[in-house]
Amino acid sequence: MAQNPYLSAATRLVAPLDRTLMLLILAVLVLSLAIQFSANNMSLQATQQHAVRIGIGLLALLAMAHITPLHLKRWAPILFLLNLLLLVAVVFYGSGDTAQRWLTLGPVVLQPSELLKLTIPLVVAYVLGPSLPPLSPVRVMLALALVAGATWLVAIQPDLGTALLISAVGVSVILLAGISRRWVLGLGALTGISLPFVWQYALREYQKDRIRIFFNPEADPLGSGYNVIQSKIAVGSGGISGKGWTHSTQAQFDFLPEHSTDFIFSVYAEEFGLIGVAVLVALYLAILWRIVAMSRTGPDRFSQLLIGGLGLSLLIHILINIAMTVGYAPVTGSPLPLMSYGGSAMISTLAAFGMMMAARHYALVRLK
Amino acid sequence: MASPDQSELSRSVRQTHRRLRRLIGLGSLLLVLLLVRIGWMQTIHTEHFTSLSTDNHLRQIPVAPSRGLISDRHGVLLADNSVQYNLSLIPSQVDDLDTTISQLRELADIHDREVRQFQQRGQSRKFETTPLKIDLSEETIAQVAVKLHQLPSVYLEAYAARRYTYGKSTAHVLGHLASISKKDRERIDLYRYRGTRRIGRAGIEHQYESLLLGTPGLQQAEVNAQGRSLMLHDRKSPTPGSNLILTLDAGLQKVASEAMAGMEGAIVAIEPFTGDILALVSAPSFDPEVFGHSINPDDYQSLIRDPQNPLLNRAIQGQYAPGSTIKPFVALAGLESGHAIPDKQFYAAPQFNIPNYRRPFRDWKDEGHGWVTVSSSITQSCDVYFYSLAYRMGIEALAPFLGRFGLGQAQQLDLPGELPGLLPNEAWKRKTYSQPWYPGETVIMGIGQGYLLLTPLQLAAATATLATRGIRMKPRLLRAYDQDGEVIKSPPEEIGRVTLSNPAWWDLVTNAMVDVVHAPNGTARRSGLNAAYRIAGKTGTAQVINYGEKRPDSDDLPENIRDHSLFIAFAPAEAPKIALAVIVEHGGHGSTKAAPIARRLLDAYLLRSL
């Protein structure tokens, strides 16, 4: 039976895609579009822009899905270095309200710190992939140094929240690679000792405030604690079934700041209630466990570390963002993956899924 | 680096997968715990958060009631409300005052003084709209309204301003409104003043504040985080204040006020049988709308520094020696006590002497009045007759009798700030000066000099009592008010009665007073010419300083020590409809200034209704 050449081209195009994961991602993206329409005061223009970014993100996903792990491995150090260069550029040419996070490159406004959630797992997988446990101390030190360097570049923007997130992602991928208990204890001790010095010398006053407010948001209800208080009001007032789509008063009347970006979850929880939250959390959990399943047999250690590392990066972002909206994590200015408004995060998250799918697909292909 | 062999690699892959499972498992557990926490907030605590959310965007905005209107006895509007517009800012929302003000200066004329005032006021109310420029012109309103969306902290604020139809002429009666002061705040029910910025400060506005105020309503506004109202829902309409109907006759009030133009003094006109105040004027007056929203400090300073003291309500706060206007009352006291006998002749020399007292009491008429009676002494205003009569009666008989007319007592008029005047007696003298009462002091009290001090209101009320032949009606300004759509009338109130052993003595005194105006030898005969009705009146000329024995001619004196000119009257003499007292400070003889003014008022009141 003669095959339709176009059909076969299309089949080849989507071949690397993981059907289960794609369905789950698309389900979250539908919720994302719905809640962005509402959070942007039913502005079609803003929703369209969000949709365009999703489209670009899905194209990036598709593109990344066709890059074999071998190519990716070859490009890993260059991509990471490029990312670091962009971060350095941000320090000199960046823009933003309190921190410089954005970089304007022609028509594109880029947030390089968002790309780190791709390149950190990539570079750690690159460095630690060739070494089997017990890991070579040199490689571990190198991986730690790269993560620390990236963290430092983000921290001086200054964007402490993202820096912490980045270091957490980096450390979690290193943990995944399988370092010994001694290393874990040693690193833990080092962190514990350095904390007072970081507080004393590295943090700016507003950052200290953020952390103080995290422990006691009511102390400054109109200042730094305001966001968290308003976010908790939004979440709590949602009730079981929510106020209904487009009926978030907290967002419509601007009580909740950053309600389309960092605090999109609060708006979602306000409008769709506990039922909606349960659905979203279930979708995220399904995505995460699908990623776990995808990494099970990855014969190639680099691919496995990459899939696992990107999965951990996703998990950490989801956890920190949701915890922040109910006051269990400091206000960091980090988006909720797949939900928040903002191009860099959306595109890099979708691209990460593409990488995972490619790693899985070509690993399987090689097995055959 | 040695390449790991296949079995070692697959073991490491299994281990890595196990680690990933554990890490993602730990994360999933945390995520589920967060879900539980959120579920907790959204079920058990949801009511708490829902009420916080509702409070967040719904603000109860008090709506000020419209203040009651004030009209005269014929329904002529004296005070009403009109909408004015203020240019207001919320100080906490203004990032850069200088920039905002320079932007606004392109639209409206804003003085540095207004900016300073705004800054002063803004300090205590950072989160409320604070007026920068009050009472904008139509043109400015239009210009600002167009640009409003570019000026986020700027508001066009409508408020009800008080307008006084008759302006200056009713200023002392109606009073004015002023911003609620710290002192007011301690005294008032703040709930009733929600949304209201001003309070009655003087006059009727102050006296009947609780009637005029009304009850505030409530509006629910959906507001955003900046506090700007997005939508309004009515919840409870305000209840407007009661409308007041006063006893005043606006026309007469205006005539009285115009008659006093350029002079200092007071006029009080009363309807004798009801106690209704028909006119109450103090001159000079002031513009009550100056106090309107927020008085300009310069205007206020010039008002309180004015040597003529325009804020003083002379009609109830001015205390004057009554001069000869006291004579009809002294005559009645004499008749009642038996020291004056009708038709009994008395020889009035140019002066009166007390036995064993060197200083003579001179008559105003150098050659003396010759043979007089009690009646003709009133008509001609013979001083010596009344010196003698008062001396013979003594202060112990004279003072209590005058007191029966309410002289030297507050009249309980429904107007704040009334002063009692002074009706002296022996006890008062001993208490105040630790001195005995001297007979000479009784003598001069017979012609209304000495310690005796009366307010124009007392004099008018006592004159009204002459007109009613002894019925004392409580003077009043409030005739009726409406409440919940019902008109509540305040009935006339009799507060006492002066009874005489022989009622004919009322006629005797009234006839003598008619002669003052209409007889050829009456002191105010010029003011009675061509009158279409009969007036009973009495002139008075009150000394401002003591000249000793010889009294110079008033006209030769500098104005500030010239005599006060007084006149009391009621008319028509047979069936009195109006009684009044007129005082013109430093106006000279009663017949020259006060009496013609009284005639003007009587004509205006009596002839208009004919």
Lowest pLDDT segment from A23-27, A178-182, B293-297:
B293-297
For B367-410, what is each residue's pLDDT tens digit?
Answer: 999 999 999 999 999 999 999 999 999 999 999 999 999 999 99
Which of B66, B62, B67, B68 is closest to B191 using CA atoms? B62
Query: Measured between alpha carbons, how far apart are the two ends of chain B, in Å?
Result: 129
B281 φ, ψ to 5°?
-130, 135
Of B153, B242, B257, B324, catalytic: B324
Query: What is the average pLDDT score of chain A?
Result: 87
For A73-128, what is each residue's pLDDT tens digit?
Answer: 999 999 999 999 999 988 888 776 656 678 887 777 888 888 998 999 999 999 99
* Joined tokens for residue A132: 């089997």
**Chain A residues touching residue B28 (CB < 8 angstroms):** 285, 288-289, 315
Residues 6+ apart with CB under 8 A from B302: none
Q: For tokens 């006063």, what's the residue?
A: B246
Average pLDDT over residues B204-232: 80
Q: How many contacts, defined by CB atoms under 8 Å, are there between A and B?
A: 156
* Joined tokens for residue B174: 């109606």
Min Cα distance A3 → chain B (Å) is: 38
Decide if pLDDT at B337 tops 60: yes
Q: For tokens 């009592």, what's the residue?
A: B465
Measured between CA atoms, the residue of chain B closest to residue A274 is B39
**Chain B residues touching residue A286 (CB < 8 angstroms):** none
* Joined tokens for residue B280: 């109450």
Which of A123, A23, A138, A34 is closest to A82 using CA atoms? A123
For B277-313, what is each residue's pLDDT tens digit?
Answer: 999 999 999 888 877 555 566 777 777 788 888 989 9
Please state, in angstroms and rounded to a whole number, the distance separating the CA atoms of residues A274 and A238.
7
The pLDDT, as a whole number, for residue A181 is 79
Q: Provide the CB-side half-sphere exposure for B256 (13 A, CA).
A: 35
Q: What number of residues does chain B have?
A: 610
For testing contact with chain B, the best of A237, A240, A280 (most B CBs within 10 A): A237
Taking the Cβ of residue A41 and every Cβ of chain B, the question of whether any pair is shorter than 8 Å is answered with: no
Q: Do A328 and B38 touch (CB under 8 A)?
A: no
Which of B170, B172, B175 is closest to B314 using CA atoms? B172
> pLDDT grade, residue B549 (50/70/90)?
very low
Q: Are A309 and A147 contacting, i.e. CB atoms less than 8 angstroms apart? A: no
The conformation of residue B454, written as its DSSP 8-state character, comes to B
Using CA atoms in the order B129, B133, B135, B136, what is the torsion angle rounded to 10 degrees? -110
Taking the Cβ of residue A221 and every Cβ of chain B, the question of whether any pair is shorter than 8 Å is answered with: no
For B428-470, what is each residue's pLDDT tens digit?
Answer: 999 999 999 999 999 999 999 999 999 999 999 999 999 999 9
Min Cα distance B223 → chain A (Å) is: 7
Lowest pLDDT segment from B451-460, B523-532, B564-573:
B523-532
Average pLDDT over residues B224-228: 62
Decide if pLDDT at B333 tops 70: yes
Q: Is B124 a catalytic residue?
A: no
Taking the Cβ of residue A292 and every Cβ of chain B, the question of whether any pair is shorter than 8 Å is answered with: yes
> pLDDT grade, residue B183 (50/70/90)?
confident
